[in-house]
Amino acid sequence: MRVAVYSVTAVMWLIASLALARPPATSAQEDWQTIQSWPGTGSGATDPFDASGSELRIRWNVQGSPSALRREAASVQIRVYQETAPTDTLVTTINAAGPGGRTTFTPPVAGRYYLQITPITGFQPRWTVWVEQRPA
C-alpha cells in the first residue's frame, strides 16, 4: 500500500513540476529589436523610421476614450507605408482591434517607413504602437 501512495505522490509531484516550469526562452523570442514606439489618440502618423531587418512586427494596444459616454470596444487601422519617390508605397494594412495584438510581415526592402493610424471603432481611441524588427 505504501508503494502505491509513494508512486502516486511522485507522479503528482512530476505533473506539478512540469505545469509550473516555464519553457526556456528561444532565440526566436529574444531576437526582436524595438525600433520605435508611439502613443496617440484618434488619427495620426508616426515619425519615419529606418528598417533593415528580415521581418517587421507591429504590436498595438488600443483603448476606448475615457470620456466616451459608454464603454465600447476600440479598434484602429494601421497602414504601413514605405517612403519612395515620387509617392509613398502602401506595404500592408492591419485592422488592429483592442485591447492588443501583433502581426508580422516581410518588408519589401530595407528602407524608410512610417505608420498611418486611423480609428475604426470607438470615440477618439487611445493607442500605442511598437515597431520591432528581426535582424537580417
Q: Do residues 25 and 92 make contact, with C-beta atoms less than 8 angstroms apart?
A: no
pLDDT, average across residues 107-136: 91
pLDDT in tens, 39-56: 999 899 999 999 998 999
d(CA 77, CA 97): 8
Helix, strand, or coil here: 53? Answer: coil
In this prediction the pTM is 0.72
Taking all residues of the chain, what is their mean pLDDT, rounded to a whole number?
80
Task: Sketch out the chain's domains with CATH numbers.
Answer: 35-134 (2.60.120.680)
How much is the pLDDT for 56?
94
Q: Spell out a b/e string for 40-75, using b for 16 or more CB atoms within 10 Å of the CB, else e.
A: beeebebeebebebeebbbbbbbbbbeeeeeeeebb
| Distances 133 to 42, 56, 62, 97, 136 between C-alpha atoms, Å | 25, 5, 21, 22, 9
How much is the pLDDT for 133?
95
